Each structure stands twice: as C-alpha cells, then as structure tokens.
Amino acid sequence: MDIAPYLLLATLEGLVQASVLMLTALGLSLVFGVMRVVNVAHGEFFMVGALIAWACGVYIPGPPAVGFVIGLVVAPLFVGGLAWFADWAVLKRINYNPEGTIVSTIGMLYIIQQFALLTFGPDARAVDAPFYYTIRTPWFGYSSYKLFIIVIALALVAGLWFMLRRSKVGLLMRATQFDKETAQNFGIPVDKVYSAVFAIGAMLAAIGGVLVVPNQQAHYLMGTDPLLLSFVVVIVGGLGSIPGTIAAAVLIGLSDGLLSVFFSPTLAKIVSTLLVAIVLVFKPQGLFSGKGARA
C-alpha cells in the first residue's frame, strides 16, 4: 500500500485508541485530581464494564444494538455502584492515605480479576457490534463502528466538561480539588463528593470497556494495558488537568499508531514509553499544564 493511505489508516486507528483512552484516563485523572488517590484497580473497572457488555449482548434477546444500548446503561451503573461500595468499605476507612490506597486498590485488582475468572471464565468472548458496516476505500476497508466510538467518546467528554464547569456538582468537585479543608469549612460534604468522584471515575472506565468490546473482546486480563496507558496519559497531560488529559490521550493514541508504521511494533512501544519517561523527566508537570501543583 502507498504511504499516504497507510498513514491515513494509522491515524484513524490512533484516533480510535485515543478516544477510549480519553475516557479511561479522564476517569483516573478525575479521581486523582480531586481525591489525590492513585487507583490501581481502574483497569479492572474497565474490564468489568466490558464483561457486562458481553453479558448484555448474549443474554438480552433482539438485535445486537439493543444489548449494546442496555449494556451502555447497565455497565456504568453497576460499576459505579461497585466503586461506591469499594470507596465506602475500604478507602474511606483508611482515610485515603496515598500509599495505603495503592495497596488497597492492588487488593481490589486481585479480587475483581479473580472473581471475573471464576464467574466469566478464562476465555475471551466476542460481542456483536450494534451495527456493522464496512467503509470501503480504494486501499482498505474500515469499520464504521470504530468511527462511532470516536463520536460517543467526544460526546461524553463534552458532557463531563459541561458537568464540571457548569453544574453545581462540578463546582463542589472543583472546590474540593482546590482545597479540601476550606471546602469542608464552607459546608461542602467532602465525603460525599469523594464517593461520587470515585464512582464517576469508575463509570467512565466502564463506558470505555463497553465501547471497546465489539471491537476487541471481553477477557478477564484485559484491564492491565488500559491501566498503564491511562496512567501515562494522566501524567503526561498534567495531573488532574482535564484539557491536558484529552490532549495527551490524542497525542499518545496517535503516536502509538504512527510509530508502528515506521518501526517494528515492539521497538515502537519501547520508543514511545521512553519518550513519555523523558518528557516527564524534563517537564515533570506534564506537557500541557503551565503551573500545576506538586504531586
């Protein structure tokens, strides 16, 4: 294939990856930004979302679109509930101590992953896309569902943006993020804000999982990669900065797609991880934030 359509394809692929990454990373970023908590189990919320999408696709009769839409509603609700419970049962009790949270969320990671293995089984399972149409170009065919992912992700991010900037909930969250003690003094129920933020973060991951399943497959170990990548995005974008996170997701999604055009894929991954490390070393606040607090 000529280089131009090849690059076009790689760009499209990069954008699809960036969209999913944007959702999962925003979840992580929100949790980190507001609560200063590193959630190692974030990838597992993504995985549970994918498993629920699979279950909806299989057990709900009718065309695949019905199961998909139901999955898109049920998965975030269930996962949000799970996260709410985890926050109440564990994180609150250790007072969100940073190191303690890491250990606890590693514990959650083990529990969720193993539970998925016991119930869902070790095999990868596929789900039908809600619609199936291949866009044919002279050089390659491309799934229209993948373009749909980009649209949905953008809509969700716009919604989140609006919620954070314009709604009262968003205001409470931002106030808590800015200064927890002062927020408490002003009567903001910081406890509840924390629970909500943790749940919303998990829900975003779950939606990412639902969107990705028709494209990939549901598998109980699928949470690790998105976790690592989301971490990278959150850091490169600047901690807790939403525009930064979005920009970083696009940058990393695209570079991952494009680098593998020119290098062997493993070498491309080495190069991109090293690039991320170097960016962090020489610009520790992230690429996209001017000031930003020290973490």
Partner 1 sequence: MKKDIVSQSSLSRRSLLRGAAGAGLLLSAPGLIGRAHAQSGDAIRLGAPFHRTGIGASYGRWYERTANAALQLINEQGGINGMPVEMIVEDDGTDPKRGVEVMEKFATEHKVDAVFGHLYSHVVAATAPRAGELKMPYFLCSEAHTLASGAFSRYCFQPSITDVKSQVVSMAPWISNNLGKKITLIYPDFNFGYDHRDNMTAAIEAQGGEVVASIAIPPTETSFTRYMPKIPFNTEAIYHVMVGPAVLTFVKELGEHLGKNRPEIFGFIDSLEGVDMNIPQLEYLEGTYFWEAMPRYAQANQTEFDKFFREKVGVDSNGASLDDPKDIATYAHMFSVWETLFAMKAAMEKADYKGPDQKIDFLEAMESITGFEESNEFPQGDKLFNGKTHQSFGHQNISKVTDGKLDVVYRTTIEETLYPDETDYTQMSF
Partner 2 sequence: MSLHSTEISSVKAAKAAEAEKGKDRFMIIHNGRLFALSLATLSVLFVLQFALSDYLVLALTRILIMSIFAMGYNMLMGYTGLLSLGHAMFFGFGLYAAGLSSYYFGTSLPVSFVIAIATSLVFSFIIGLLALRTEGVSFMIVTLMFAQAAYLATLYFSKITGGDQGLTLPTDARSFSLLGANFDMTSDVVRFNLAFGIFAVVLIFFFFVTQGPLGRLFTAVRENEPRTQMLGFDTYRVRLAAFTLSGTVCGLAGALYALMFGYIGSAFAGFHYSIEALLFTLVGGPGTLLGPLLGTGIMTMLIDRLSGITTAYLIIIGIILIVVNMWFPKGILGTIRERWVPWLK
Which residues lie near partner 2 (CB under 8 A)?
Answer: 32, 38, 90, 93-94, 97, 99-100, 102-104, 106-111, 113-115, 117-118, 224, 228, 231-232, 235, 239, 264, 266-267, 269-270, 273-274, 276-278, 280-282, 284, 294-295
Of 136, 168, 291, 294, the residue at the interface with partner 1 (CB under 8 A) is: 136
Cβ at position 263, least distance to partner 1 in Å: 12
Contacts of 108 (CB under 8 A, 6+ apart): 40, 41, 44, 86, 90
Choose the stretch contacting partner 1; rule: CB under 8 A; options: 101-109, 124-132, 239-247, 276-284.
124-132
Choose the stretch contacting partner 1; rule: CB under 8 A; options: 71-79, 154-162, 200-208, 262-270.
262-270
Can you read off the two tokens belonging to residue 228?
Answer: 């690592």
- Which is nearer to partner 1, 138 or 290 (by Cβ)? 138
- Which is nearer to partner 2, 145 or 231 (by Cβ)? 231
Of 4, 59, 99, 123, the residue at the interface with partner 1 (CB under 8 A) is: 123
Residue with tokens 């494209």: 215
User: Are 40 and 105 spatial neighbours (Cβ–Cβ below 8 Å)?
Assistant: yes
Q: Does 262 bind partner 1 (CB under 8 A)?
A: no
Q: CA torsion sign, 213 to 219 to 220 to 224?
A: negative
Taking CB within 5 to 8 Å according to partner kind, which of partner 1, partner 2, none is near residue 32?
A: partner 2
- Which is nearer to partner 1, 136 or 294 (by Cβ)? 136
Q: Which long-range contacts (CB under 8 A, 24 or more apart) does 119-124 make?
A: 120/51, 120/54, 120/218, 120/220, 121/220, 122/220, 123/219, 124/217, 124/218, 124/219
Q: Does 117 bind partner 1 (CB under 8 A)?
A: yes
Distance CA 211, CA 133 (A): 16
Contacts of 91 (CB under 8 A, 6+ apart): 37, 101, 104, 194, 198
Q: What is the Cα gyration radius of the chain?
A: 19
Residue with tokens 């900037």: 165
Distance CA 92, CA 87 (A): 6
- Which is nearer to partner 1, 103 or 117 (by Cβ)? 117
Of 84, 140, 161, 263, the residue at the interface with partner 1 (CB under 8 A) is: 140
Taking CB within 5 to 8 Å according to partner kind, which of partner 1, partner 2, none is near residue 160?
A: none
Distance CA 91, CA 198 (A): 10
Cβ at position 38, least distance to partner 2 in Å: 7
Taking CB within 5 to 8 Å according to partner kind, which of partner 1, partner 2, none is near residue 231?
A: partner 2
